[in-house]
Amino acid sequence: MRFIVDQTLGGLAKWLRLCGFDTIQKLIRLHDPTSLPAPDANTWILTRQTRLADRYPRQDILVVSADDPEVQLAEVMARFNLAATDFKLLNRCSRCNQPLVAVSKQEVRGRVPEYVYQHQHQFYECPACHQVFWVGSHVAAICRRLQALSPQRPGRESSESPE
């Protein structure tokens, strides 16, 4: 599953990437059909432009109604029946969507705050922008918020994978 979000959903794009989803951002203009990506069975287009869905009646265009990126994420999760357990945190750069690579502690010395260097042991780097990520309090806070947003699905079978 892959997402293309338009210019109205930059905040949501970052959240989706933080959750590990392949998410690219694209300028989509209502009056320019060439700006609309070609349909792809595995790709969903997310937008806040309600008129886009009216003008181009395609099943792969999903209009998100909330203003707040966290609520938008909850909307997308509900639409695709996703739970926090479907997320892969620290898998993708939130800025450029590149898959992160694990790097050794020595490699990040001087590139992360000293406190983080002393207390964290697993680090990841974006091969494109070279930002360093780690399982710190920030990610823990994201996990808690995502779990709070996540619909409760007791008894879910592990074989029930989302499409």
Q: How far is the CB of 138 from Zn ion (least distance, A)?
A: 16
* Tokens representing residue 113 in the block: 């705050």
Q: Please state the closest distance from residue 161 (CB atom) to Zn ion, in A.
A: 28
Count of residues interacting with Zn ion (CB under 5 A) = 6
Window 32 to 91, contacts with Zn ion (CB under 5 A)? none
CB of 147 vs Zn ion, minimal distance in Å = 25
Quick note: the x/- pattern for Zn ion over 115-144, rule CB under 5 A, is -----------x-xx---------------
**What letter does residue 84 receive in the DSSP assignment?**
G
Classify residue 18 by burial, with Cβ atoms within 10 Å: 0-12, 13-18, 19+: buried
- State yes or no: residue 28 binds Zn ion (CB under 5 A): no
Q: Are strands 2-5 and 43-47 parallel, antiparallel or unpaired?
A: parallel
CB of 14 to Zn ion, least distance (A): 11
Q: Three-state SS for 82?
A: coil
Query: Got the DSSP string for 2-44?
Result: EEEE-GGGHHHHHHHHHTT-EEEE----TT-GGGSPPP-TTEE
96 belongs to the binding site for Zn ion (CB under 5 A): yes
Which residues contact Zn ion by CB under 5 A?
Answer: 93, 95-96, 126, 128-129
